[in-house]
Structure 1
Amino acid sequence: MAAKKLSELFSKSFIEEVHRWGCLKQTGVGLRYMMEFGSRPTERNLLISAQFLHKELPIRIARRAIELESLPYGLSEKPAVLKVRDWYLDSFRDLRSFPEIKDTNDEKDFTQMIKMIKVRHNNVVPMMALGVQQLKKGMDSKIVYEDLVEVQQFLDRFYMSRIGIRMLIGQHVALHDPNPLPNCVGYIHTKMSPVEVARNASEDARAICFREYGSAPDVIIYGDPNFTFPYVPTHLHLMVFELVKNSLRAVQERYMDSDKVTQPIRIIVADGVEDVTIKVSDEGGGIRRSGLPKIFTYLYSTARNPLDEQSDLGMVDGVTMAGFGYGLPISRLYARYFGGDLQIISMEGYGTDAYLHLSRLGDSQEPLP
């Protein structure tokens, strides 16, 4: 089946509208602003928030839809990418056909709609990963994947934008929770303990390691469990989970057939003036220096995409030990979203240290691709 161009599927006026909105300026929001604004979820504030999203979300979504149309190397024609493009266009249409938000009833209806949009986009990451796999399959094997810089840069922008869209929708929806957890403002925990989140994330990663290998190295955490700062626990959980999972896999595979004692993975949480830094250290044998540039690319994974050609595209769930090789690049985007970063330093023949820097000032604006 030939890929249908936009003009065959949508009216000219609709496409023009997408392009018009895609040219408008995006407005970034900071963690501190989200926290202060959301700490009083009055009807008036929720109304202001919904009106802002009613204008902001179509701009962000239109930009991504336009980009999905013009990707290099024929990536735009891949069936999985077309599916993602259609999700974005459907969401754009839903947002644009929603009337002006004038009162609390409108706001409630709007909140239900953006909740649906968030669910519609749940599988965007594996679906785009499948598109990239479809691209790689048909490509000349002589092409060096690091040369595909344009695809890499597009995916960084695309996923960063997605983190922002999901944060804005999730934050607005969470402010409606009638029984919020103590110290929580929507997605943001004003007194989050990084040690506690690291512990939970490590346990989750070890459970998966157990399932896969029948055993799992220990994880030792150093840091003050009573130290807290404002952050988004789900974001931190995702990043630490990913780093610990990689370390567990490396250590497990290094010691699998050896009679040496498996070395534990060490997590250190340091509380600085500007940053909270979390270091995840393993003795899993490290990464070759030639392989280091590849660990943040989307086109490189030693593992199989759980969502491969044979599986039903609707059935992507559950976490595997090694996924589509997206864990590290996407974790780095989550870190950068609130002004942090992720660095990996490795000693081949020994092990790897991952440094996760989280900005504790809360002043950074969203990076808007």
Structure 2
Amino acid sequence: MAAKKASETFSKSMIEDVHKWGCLKQTGVSLRYMMEFGSKPNERNLLISAQFLHKELPIRIARRAIELQNLPYGLSHKPAVLKVRDWYLDSFRDLRTFPDIKNMNDEKAFTDMIKAIKVRHNNVVPTMALGVQQLKKGMDPKIVDEDLDEIHQFLDRFYMSRIGIRMLIGQHVELHNPHPAPHCVGYIDTKMSPVEVARNASEDARSICCREYGSAPDVHIYGDPDFTFPYVPAHLHLMVFELVKNSLRAVQERFMDSDKVTPPVRIIVADGLEDVTIKVSDEGGGIARSGLPKIFTYLYSTARNPLDENEDVGVSDNVTMAGYGYGLPICRLYARYFGGDLQIISMEGYGTDAYLHLSRLGDSQEPLP
């Protein structure tokens, strides 16, 4: 079945509308602004927030939809990418056909609609990964290694934008929660303990490691459990989980058939004036220096891809120890989204240290692609 062109599924006037909105300027928001604004989720603020999203979301979504149409190497025509493009166009249409928000009834209907948009986009990452795989299949491996810079840059922009869209929708929806967790403003925990989040994320990673290998190295955490700062716990959990999972897998595979004692993975949490830094250290044998530039690319994983061409992305929801090579680049985007960063330092033959820097000032604007 030939994939439909956008013009066959969507009206000409809508496609023109997408291009018009795609040229408008995006408005970035800082963590601090989200925190201050959301600390009083009264009707007036919810209304202002909904009106802002009603204008902002179509701009961000239109930009991505236009990019999805114009990818190099024919990536735009891969079935998985067309599916993603249609999700974006459907969401754009939903937002644009929604009337102006004038009162709380409108606001409630709008909130339900953006909730549905967020669910529609749940599988964007694995589906795009599948599209890139479909592309790689037919390409000369030499080209794949050297030439896909453009595709990397696109995916960086695309996923960074997705983090922002999901954060804005999630934040607005969460402000309606009648019983927020103590000191939480939407998705933001104003008193998040990084040690506690690291502990939970490590336990999750260890249980997956046990499921896959039958056992898991210990994880030791160093840092003050009482130290807190404002951040989004879900983002930190995702990042630490990914880093610890990689470390556990490396250590487990290195010491699987050895009679030596398996060394623990160490997590150190340090609070500086500007940054909170979390270091994840392992003795899993490290990464060769020639492999280091590749670890932040979307086209490289040392593990086999759990997403198979023929299986439906939506069905399997279980996390495996080794993903489709997306863990680290996406982790780094989450870190950068609020002004932080992720660095990997490796000693081949010994192990790897990952440094996760989180900005504690909360002032940095979203990096809008």
For normalisation by structure 1, the TM-score amounts to 0.99
Residue 150 (structure 1) aligned with residue 150 (structure 2): yes
Match of 1:60 in 2: 60
Amino acid in the other structure paired with 1:202: S
1:286 aligns with 286
Higher mean C-alpha displacement, 2-11 vs 164-173: 2-11
Q: Could you tell me which residue of structure 2 aligns to residue 161 of structure 1? A: 161
Q: Which residue of 2 aligns with 1:86?
A: 86
**2:198 paired residue number:** 198
How far is 1:144 from its partner?
4.0
SS in 2 for 1:142: helix
Which residue of the partner structure matches residue 134 of structure 1?
134
Task: Give 1:112's aligned residue.
Answer: 112
Query: Could you tell me how far 1:189 is from its partner in structure 2?
Result: 0.1
1:9 match: 9
Query: In the alignment, residue 66 of structure 2 is paired with which amino acid?
Result: I
Q: Distance in 2 between matches of 1:142 and 1:282?
A: 32
Aligned-partner residue type, residue 237 of structure 1: H
Alignment of structure 1 residues 154-303 onto 2, 5 Å: 154-303=154-303
Given that 1:78 and 1:131 are in contact with CA atoms closer than 8 Å, whether structure 2 keeps it comes out as yes
Tell me, yes or no, if the aligned pair for 2:30 and 2:364 is still in contact at 8 Å: yes
Deviations 1:266-307 (A, max 9, x none): 000000000000000000000000000000000111223322
Corresponding residue of 1:337: 337
C-alpha contact 2:126 2:313 (8 A) present in aligned 1: no
Name the residue aligned to 2:30. 30
Opposite residue 77 of structure 2, the aligned amino acid is: E
Q: Deviations over 1:44-101 (max 9, x none)?
A: 0000000000000000000000000000011000000000000000000000000000
Q: Which amino acid aligns with 2:363?
A: D
CA contact (8 A) 2:136 2:144 kept: no
Shift in CA distance, 129/232, structure 1 to aligned 2, threshold 3 Å:
same
- d(CA) in 2 for partners of 1:106, 1:307: 40
Distance in structure 1 (CA, Å) of the matches to 2:53 and 2:139: 40
Aligned partners of 2:38, 2:44: CA distance in 1, in Å?
11
Deviation at 1:312, TM superposition (A): 1.8
SS in structure 1 of the partner of residue 221 of structure 2: strand
Whole-Å separation in 1 of the counterparts to 2:306 and 2:185 = 34
- 1:10 Cα offset (Å): 1.7
Following superposition, which runs of at least 4 residues in structure 1 exceed 6 angstroms of deviation? none
- Show the counterpart of 1:311: 311
Distance in 1, matches of 2:316 and 2:156, equals: 22
Provide, for residues 226-271 of structure 1, a one-character-per-residue CA deviation record: whole Å limited to 9, x for no partner: 0000000000000000000000000000001111110000000000
Q: Deviations over 1:103-151 (max 9, x none)?
A: 0000000000000000000000000000000000011123242421000
CA distance in 1 between partners of 2:245 and 2:34 (Å) = 31
One-letter amino acid matched to 1:71: L
Q: CA deviation at 1:318?
A: 1.9
Letter in 2 for 1:342: L
Classify 1:120/1:316 alpha carbon distance in 2 versus 1 (closer, same or farther; 3 Å).
Answer: farther
Deviates more, 1:261-270 or 1:2-11: 2-11
**Letter matched to residue 132 of structure 1:** V
Distance 2:349 2:151 in 1: 32
Distance 1:252 1:74 in 2: 39
Report if aligned partners of 1:145, 1:300 keep a CA contact under 8 Å in 2.
no
- Unpaired runs of 5+ in structure 2? none
The normalised TM-score by structure 2 is 0.99
Post-superposition offset of 1:7: 2.0
Cα distance between partner residues in 2 of 1:320 and 1:257: 21
Whether the 8 Å CA contact 1:123–1:316 is kept in 2: the answer is no
SS of the aligned residue for 2:141 comes to coil
Contact 1:279–1:353 under 8 Å retained in 2:
yes
The secondary structure found in structure 2 opposite 1:236 is helix
Alignment length, in residue pairs?
369
What's 2:43 paired with? Answer: 43
**5+ residue gaps, structure 1:** none
Q: Which is worse superposed, 311-320 or 286-295?
A: 311-320
After superposition, give the CA deviation of every residue in 1:186-218 in whole Å (9 maximum; x if it has no partner): 000000000000000000000000000000000
Give the distance between the partners of 1:127 and 1:99, measured in 2 at CA.
31
Q: How much has 1:340 moved relative to structure 2? A: 0.0
